[in-house]
Amino acid sequence: MKAPRVVARACIAAAVVLVLAACTTGAGRAPVVDGTARVEPWRPDGISSPMFESHPAFDPRSGDLYFVRSTPEFRGWRILVSRCTARGWSAPEPPPFAGDGVEADPWFDAGGDALYFISTRSTDGVRRDDLDLWRVDRDADGRWGEPVRLPAPLNSSGREWFPRMAADGWLYFGSDRPGGYGKTDIWRGRRAADGSWRVENAGPALNTAGDEYEALPSPDSRFLVLMTGDGLYRSDFADGAWQPRVRLPDALNADSGEVGALFSPSGRSMLFARDTKGERSGEFFVWRLRGDEDWPPACPPGEDGQEAKGD
């Protein structure tokens, strides 16, 4: 999760529970990706509000929508869940595993057996200020267990965010830990047979001297979308490595306030949040990469999935 008002992950102060400050980045601008991009708003009743909505995640088991809601200034992140009913999306409420402090960036594994997220929740009775990666598992009956803070070296003395598992087994995340190429970098970890984790920097094709906050691998891991201090970029995986990133079209990069992306299962569409800097603050938008598809899912089922769009 990064603060879209100018930029921001690297500017999180000790009061991260409440405030993200804005800062500037000196990262260079890569070439724009050729082609056009069709971007349209997604404003479902019951979800869209004057608050800042971002970081969506659809439950693979139930279709429930988990997302982050914060103040219009992008403060006080909280994970909420809404269920699709015969009357539409239900009133959002905290999930059963909610804790104290900031919580954001929900992400389901492919089968919906586990959800990754970030949190500053208290551990062992001690209130924490740094954002860490967490995971909560769910049993076959749908009951959530106790959240578990992921071990080092995934977590560090710095701040971590936006954990996203690629199809090839690498867990990508952002961190301001030492040893990167810039202020904030994309890192990745892979779990060994003995349960330990090996973590490495994702490399100079993705990272710069500026800020890279969030990396979203495509469903087939053939490319990823980067959310950075100066907008959205794409990198393709070829010849065994990530290729130099290229800037996505202006239709996606409206104001460098795009954040929290999610691919559809097919990879043909991408849902993300944008700081509209208006009365509705942060809102969801859909990028149609390849043609039309019935996603995000309509609620109630069978209704026109675009009914809730607005100008």
* pLDDT (tens digit per residue) in 92-111: 999 999 999 899 999 999 99
**Contact yes or no for 206/194 (Cβ under 8 A):** no
Question: Bridge-partner residues for 175, per DSSP?
Answer: 160, 185
Omega before 95 cis (within 30°)? Answer: no
* pLDDT (tens digit per residue) in 225-249: 999 999 999 999 999 999 999 999 9
Q: Tell me how many degrees the CA angle 260-272-251 measures, rounded to the nearest 5.
A: 125
Closest-CA residue to 117 (of 126, 109, 128, 125): 109
What's the mean pLDDT when you consider all of the chain?
A: 87
Alpha-carbon gap, residue 238 to 299, rounded angstroms: 38
Is pLDDT at 53 greater than 90 in this prediction?
A: yes
Amino acid 256: pLDDT: 66
**Contact yes or no for 226/181 (Cβ under 8 A):** no
Amino acid 254: pLDDT: 85
pTM, full prediction = 0.87
Alpha-carbon gap, residue 122 to 200, rounded angstroms: 27
Question: Between residues 262 and 19, which one has the greater pLDDT?
Answer: 262
Task: Name the band, by pLDDT with cuts 50, 70 and 90, for residue 255.
Answer: confident
Amino acid 303: pLDDT: 64
Amino acid 127: pLDDT: 77
* pLDDT (tens digit per residue) in 129-179: 889 999 999 999 999 999 999 999 999 999 999 999 999 999 999 999 999
Task: Name the band, by pLDDT with cuts 50, 70 and 90, for residue 28.
Answer: very low
Q: Which two tokens stand for residue 94?
A: 């905290």
Amino acid 291: pLDDT: 86
**Torsion angle defined by CA atoms of residues 181, 186, 190 and 191, in that order, rounded to the nearest 10 degrees:** 110
